[in-house]
Amino acid sequence: MRYRIEISGGFSGIPKTYEGRANIEKEQLEKIIHYLEENTNESNPDLRDGQQYSFQIEEGTQSHSALFTEKSLPTELRQLLEQLAHPN
């Protein structure tokens, strides 16, 4: 799986990008794709200094992308981000 995850906004306002390849088990990959496709993009209009999360995933000929807010980002994708950003 190829991935590109961009984090923007937040208190610092400093954007951060993670990209590369990762070996993800088929079951986890299906869950990730499900979350990307089912994104409700729920937002909180009163949120200040919240981050935005842009996910782009490519597997074979398929590509999936979605933009999440602090509120809408599912825990499973936060964990994936954590896993990719801090592999150890």
Partner 1 sequence: MCSTKCFIIPPHILEELAKRGNSSCKKTLNDTARITEKRQTALNHLLQREHQESRGDRYIYDCKNTYQQRVELIIEEGGEFIKDETANEAYKTSGFVRDYFKNAFGLNSIDGNGLDIISNIHYGENYNNAYWDGDEMTYGDGDGKEFTDFASAIDVVAHELAHGVTQFLSNLEYQSQPGALNEHFSDVFGTVIKQKYLNQTVEEADWLIGDSVVTEEFPGVAIRSMKAPGTANEFDSQPDHMDNYYNGMADNQGVHINSGIPNKAFYLSCMELGLDDCALIWFQTLKALWRTANFNDMLETILATAQNLTEEGNVSERSVEVLSKSFSAVGIISIVV
Q: How many CB atoms lie within 10 A of CB 46?
A: 6
Closest CB to partner 1 among residues 38, 61: 38
Q: Looking at beta carbons only, is 51 or 57 nearer to partner 1?
A: 51
Report in angstroms how near the CB of residue 58 gets to partner 1 at its nearest.
23
Pairing mode, if any, of strands 51-59 and 62-68?
A: antiparallel
Give Cβ neighbours of residue 66 (< 8 Å, ≥ 6 apart): 35, 36, 37, 39, 41, 54, 55
Query: HSE on the CB side for 82, CA within 13 Å?
Result: 7
Sites for partner 1 among residues 40-69 (CB under 8 A): 44-51
Q: Which of residues 12-41 bind partner 1 (CB under 8 A)?
A: 12-16
Give min distance, CB of 86 to partner 1, in A. Answer: 6
In the bound state with partner 1, the residue whose beta carbon lies nearer, of 13 and 60, is 13
Q: How far apart are CA 21 and CA 4, in angstroms?
A: 9
Please report, as ranges, the residues that interact with partner 1 according to CB under 8 A: 8-16, 44-51, 70-71, 75, 78, 82, 85-86
